Structure 1
Amino acid sequence: MSAQIVATQPSIEVNRVAASYAERNEAYWKRNLAIAVFGSFTTLVSLSMLLPFLPLYVEQLGARTPSAIVQWSGIAFGATFLGTALTAPLWGHLADRYGRKPMLVRAAIGMAVVMSLIGTAHTVTQLVLLRLVAGLVGGYASAATVMVGTQAPRERSGWALGVLSIGALSGSLIGPLVGGFLPDLVGIRGTFFVGGGVIAVAALVTIFFVREDFNHEWDTRPPPGGSDDATGMAHKGLIVTLLVTAMMVLLANMSIEPIITVYIAQLGVPHEHLARMAGIVMAASAFGSMLTSARLGSLADRVGSNKVIIGCLLVTALLMVPQAFVTQWWQLAVLRGLMGMSMAGMLPAVAKGVRALVEDRKTGKTLGYLQSAQFAGQVIGPLIGGQIGAWVGLRDVFFVTAVLLVLCAWLNRWANRQDTSLLAPHRAG
């Protein structure tokens, strides 16, 4: 009897390893999702809380003229997103080779250290470089997307990614609020040390409580029958379309950013209230997304990613148009909130669609490219909106963005007709 028990042990071990990555981590993914939401929330709070006082810090570091302060503030804020966009595919590739948890730990520790160092900057150049390094070595939310997107069961991945996005969105909302009063308590430089400490807590929670069953030999091995390169090439057109869609989501949301204060001023808002009203309008879309992100992600699990993506693109385009005709600032805020609700389902559905098209051993790298596409949208959106607003007209920004969204919906429909892998709900998840 004892010999029989011993003989079965290798077979049990082989079956455990032979199971897919998601199957082996089935017992952990919900707890890991909760920790990832917490970590994404804390890191985004720390990164975004400098918005209210960034111009003041830039001035302290040597910028003297108003134009120089505005210019360097924009460069310093965007440097982090640029850094993340550049390295997200690399970290995703390393996550495929060495596991998802190490990338979360790396991002949290790196951001905690660099965030604290920002509080020691002595020149504007140092501030920009440190913000860039924060993006290059950080990206906790991106690493969390890779982990959740690969660990959650395929039939629940849309919902899980939707829940994860709530952490990042809420962090981006609350961060500026915290940054509005924290410098009065600890000083501007002290605020960065507090932010670094908060991220350090997220790092410790990640180290001690995230569980992962990763087998380097099995999880990096090509599927039985040869390489999966042919599978990737077969879906290349649809994967590129999904990356373009991810970029378009952020482009549409950010296109109004450069003109929003001027646009609200044209609606009759007194100058002394412009900043507050503009902040409300900017936050409205993120708040709307928080309300529906998980629900629309769950809908993608039931009906398929393709339907949710196309539907959300068209509804968002429709909601863009009346924003050009508002007469009160609160009307714009309501429409932006509704637009956020319709946009919320696109990113989880896109990530879910990407996972359905890529083998597990390459999912991290591909989701890294997805993160880069999103950050590219954050950069391109304000550029397009600013140029159109300056040379054509403020209201035309909404019309152009609506047209781009409709074209993106058509592109998704066309690409899915060429590749029917996402038309059936059970194959989309």
Structure 2
Amino acid sequence: MEHWQRNLYTVWFTQILSLTGFGFVLPFIPFFLQELGVTDPVELKQWVGWISAVPGISMGIAAPIWGALSDRYGRKLMMLRAMATGTIILAIMSTVQSPMSVLLLRLCQGFFTGTVTAAATLVAAGTPSDKLSSSLGLLASSTFIGYIIGPTIGGLSAEYLGYRVSFLIGSGVMLTSFILVLFLVREPKEGRKQRNKENGKRGISAFSEAVRALPWKQIGPLLIILFLLRAARSMPTPFLPIQVQLLRGKVEGAAAIMGAISGVIGLVTAISGILLGKLGDRHPRLKLISIFALAASILVLPASVMNSIMGFTIFFVAGSFFAGGLEPLMQSHLTSLTSAENRGTLFGIQTTVGSLGWAISPLIGSVLSIHFSIPSVFVAMSGFLLLASFVARINYKKHR
């Protein structure tokens, strides 16, 4: 097995652990807020919107910095940083007594963690270009597998052990992934070569040079598509638990049901990530993104009018299948347009753009849910996917 393959499989497994740790409780934040005393429906939706948005804001600020530092000091170090801080933040969350404390910790989470970006940067730095789509597709599946295991087990843990214990369990799982990366992952050769080459460069000048070296004419329109895709996929996530609670009619038992739904969504998006990754190695990526985003837009829309948990889940899961592999496919397309030594900077900028979508969409969802209803959030998700499909189609026709 080659060096890049060993890294890929090791990082893939540690990412499953990492996202399992985060998934143990974070999907159930709306229920945890109610335990902290937030029971007014409007106030709850406002807190859910802001607590979901602030990690995107802080990650959008921090990501280019971490990306440039990864180009200079190494991809492995950035993974260790993200996992170590994630371990600490989850442990502290088990002690909070107010919604404001949750918000502040989520702000820190966005600034200091980012395990997905750190892992993708490490894998992309050492993977042959003809294997990028399939490798990043496989890596993306780790995110969704983690969100199968984490929420499924975490939902049961939250129901029977409580949210605070679940935070501690998640922290322990994250710590395990940190230890595995520390001892098993090796720095990609491309990263070592670039740091030797850039040894004399420092700070802002090195970062600005890396930014200028990116092919902006090619990647600019693609970053717009990435923003739309992230906004679409992030918008309903914070409000899914509330929708499940409304369809069920009570909060008791909702965490376990939400965990099961999240597990199914994670499974189909993992399959989608692998499938689209393989298709992306053989077919035009922008054409695939246009087709799959359109299919996701059409399938998600009926979920907004379903009056049962089963009906809602069927349509939302179907839409999640077609939407699940879009971001890693776009990521591989962007990566293929950038030289290996500048991919850390690219991934940092990608994360900033994606984080803007992550930050804005929950706030839009909060406003829609307060002034209209929770189902209107899913209508908006469908609209963002449709717009992403349209922009991808235009760019595909322009460059084919």
Normalising to structure 2: TM-score of the pair? 0.81
Q: What residue is the counterpart of 2:197 in the other structure?
A: 218
Equivalent residue pairs, number = 386
1:205-256 C-alpha deviation (Å, 9 max, x unpaired): 111111122121337899xxxx887763xx4244122222222223223333
Q: Which residue of 2 aligns with 1:32?
A: 7
In the other structure, the counterpart of 1:352 is: 332
Q: Unaligned regions of 5+ residues in structure 2, if any?
A: 202-208
Would the alpha carbon gap of residues 308 and 133 (structure 1) be closer, same or farther in structure 2, given more than 3 Å must change? same
Given residue 217 of structure 1, which amino acid in structure 2 is its aligned partner? N
SS, match of residue 318 in structure 1: helix
How far is 1:45 from its partner?
2.0
The answer to whether the 8 A contact 2:54-2:359 is kept is: no
Distance 1:127 1:397, change over 3 A: closer
Indicate whether 1:363 and 2:343 are aligned.
yes
Q: Indicate if the aligned counterparts of 1:255 and 1:386 stay in contact, CA closer than 8 A.
A: no
Q: How does 1:218-297 map to 2 (within 5 A)?
A: 218=197, 232=214, 235-257=215-237, 270-271=249-250, 275=254, 280-281=260-261, 283-297=263-277
Q: Residues of 2 paired with 1:271 and 1:123: CA distance?
A: 23
Give the partner amino acid of 2:328.
P
2:21 to 46, 54, 78: 46
Question: SS in structure 1 opposite 2:282?
Answer: helix
Match of 2:39 among 50, 63, 66: 66
CA distance in 1, matches of 2:303, 2:10: 37
Partner of 1:156: 131
Query: Once the two structures are superposed, what CA deviation does each residue of 1:157-202 show, in whole Å capped at 9, x if it has no partner?
Result: 1111111111111222322333334468876545444333322221
Q: Deviations over 1:312-368 (max 9, x none)?
A: 222222223443454644233222222122112211211111112222222111112
- 1:373 maps to 2:379: no
1:407 aligns with 2:387: yes
Q: Which residue of 1 aligns with 2:120?
A: 145
CA RMSD in angstroms, aligned pairs only: 3.6
* Runs of 5+ consecutive residues of structure 1 not aligned to the other structure: 1-25, 424-429
Give, in whole Å, the separation in 2 of the partners of 1:57 and 1:272: 11
- Cα pair 1:280 1:333 within 8 Å, conserved: no
Contact 1:219/1:361, CA 8 A, preserved across alignment: no
Measure how far apart 1:387 and its partner are.
3.3
CA contact (8 A) 2:90 2:167 kept: yes
How far apart in 2 are the matches of 1:52 and 1:289?
16
Change (3 A) 1:287 1:417: same
Alpha-carbon distance in structure 2 between the residues aligned to 1:187 and 1:404: 36
1:39 positional shift: 2.2
Q: Equivalences for 1:77-226 in 2 at 5 Å?
A: 78-121=53-96, 124-182=99-157, 188-212=163-187, 213=189, 214-215=192-193, 216-218=195-197
Are the equivalent residues in 1 in contact too, given 2:369–2:375 (CA < 8 A)? yes
Q: Which amino acid aligns with 1:43?
A: S
Q: Which has the higher contact order (CA 8 A, sep 6+)?
A: 2
Deviations 1:248-272 (A, max 9, x none): 2232233334665676788x75547
Is the alpha carbon distance of 1:330 and 1:352 closer, same or farther for their aligned partners in structure 2, counting shifts above 3 Å?
Answer: same
Which one of the candidate residues 281, 303, 307 is aligned to 1:323?
303
**Shift in alpha-carbon separation, 1:28–1:194, aligned structure 2, 3 A:** same
Deviation, 1:94, is 0.9
Query: What is the match of residue 307 of structure 1?
Result: 287
Q: After superposition, what is the alpha-carbon deviation per residue over 1:388-421, rounded to whole angstroms, capped at 9, x for unaligned? A: 4554566655554434333322322333455x3x
Cα gap change, 1:290 to 1:102, in 2 (>3 Å): same
Q: Provide the rounded CA distance (Å) in 2 between the counterparts of 1:53 and 1:404.
A: 25
Looking at structure 2, the residues matched to 157 and 121 of structure 1 have their Cα atoms a distance apart, in angstroms, of 41
Residues 346 and 187 of structure 1: is their aligned pair in 2 closer, same or farther, counting only changes over 3 Å?
closer
Cα 1:125–1:330, aligned 2, differ >3 Å: closer, same or farther? closer
Relative distance call for 1:179 and 1:345 in structure 2 (3 A) is closer
Which structure has the bigger radius of gyration?
Answer: 1
Whole-angstrom distance in 2 between the partners of 1:311 and 1:285: 20
Identify the range of structure 1 (272-281 vs 140-149) with the bigger mean alpha-carbon deviation.
Answer: 272-281
Structure 1: distance between partners of 2:156 and 2:322: 32
